[in-house]
Amino acid sequence: MPGLGQILSGNPIRGASGGLKEITSFSTLNNLLVLKNLCAHLQPQTSLEIGMAFGGSTLLLAELYRRRQVPAARQHVAIDPFQNQPDHWDGVALKLLQETGLREYVEHREDRSCQALPQMMKEGKKFDLIYIDGSHLFEDVFVDYYFCQRLLRPNGLLLFDDCTDPHVAKVIRFIRRNGATTLQEKDLLPFRPGTHALRYRLARRLGKLQLRGFSKIGEDERRWNAPLVPF
């Protein structure tokens, strides 16, 4: 795919400031393949990601809209407050989007997710697919989950990367034990070509999966004083 090959090659890429940036942070090839297969299944009309970095998943999702011949209308939103900072990502993702003709598929919000997500709720935004891969601090991941499950359309899919990280894993446990009427864990095995089923299910049971997904099955209507299940 245009631009994505440059990132996956691992070779330095020239940023917006003119300097070369080492590619140090992007979604794994395995995650990108799962995203690609999920999009083929879900056919999302809108999508959101938290954590743009060098733009691997951004380029993929934008290109998938183009391949479906969906008119470009900024239907993919990427939140990243550090995208244009030379000491972080130096605008590499936005530069690659521009060079590959994908820029008009993407709306970049240069805010922290704790600021951008409630603003999108006020705007009435809704998404079919949300990919959380930003800060891995528990409090940040929890805030992302809190708002994203409200921004998700019914039957939409919420994905978490780096689920073996203890901060992310704790949020996953909260969802399972306190949010099961809203989100139901989705088996991603059918979307992972070449994966050995028994090994995958064992890794899931042992908490070794990096990528996990949840389908929205209802709205969050817990009472204000609902009991907290330990997690």
Give me the number of domains the chain comprises: 1
Residue 109 domain-assigned? yes
Give the tens place of pLDDT for each residue, 213-223. 999 999 988 88
Do the domain assignments include residue 230? no
Question: Is 60 inside a domain boundary?
Answer: yes
153-197: pLDDT as tens digits: 999 999 999 999 999 999 999 999 999 999 999 999 999 988 888
pLDDT tens digit sequence for 107-118: 999 999 999 999
Name 78's bridge partners: 49, 108
Q: What is the dihedral of CA 98, 10, 85, 165, to 10 degrees?
A: 120
Element (H, E) at 99: helix 92-99
Measured distance CA(138)–CA(140) in Å, rounded: 5
Range of the domain at 163: 4-216
- The answer to whether position 143 is within a domain reads yes
pTM here is: 0.94
CATH code: domain of residue 63: 3.40.50.150
Q: What is the mean pLDDT of the chain?
A: 94
> Residue 229: how many CB atoms within 10 A of its CB?
12
Q: Is residue 2's pLDDT more than 80?
A: no
Nearest partner of 127 among 47, 62, 218, judged by Cα:
47
Residues with Cβ < 8 Å from 132, sequence gap 6 or more? 49, 50, 51, 141, 144, 145, 148, 158, 159, 160, 161
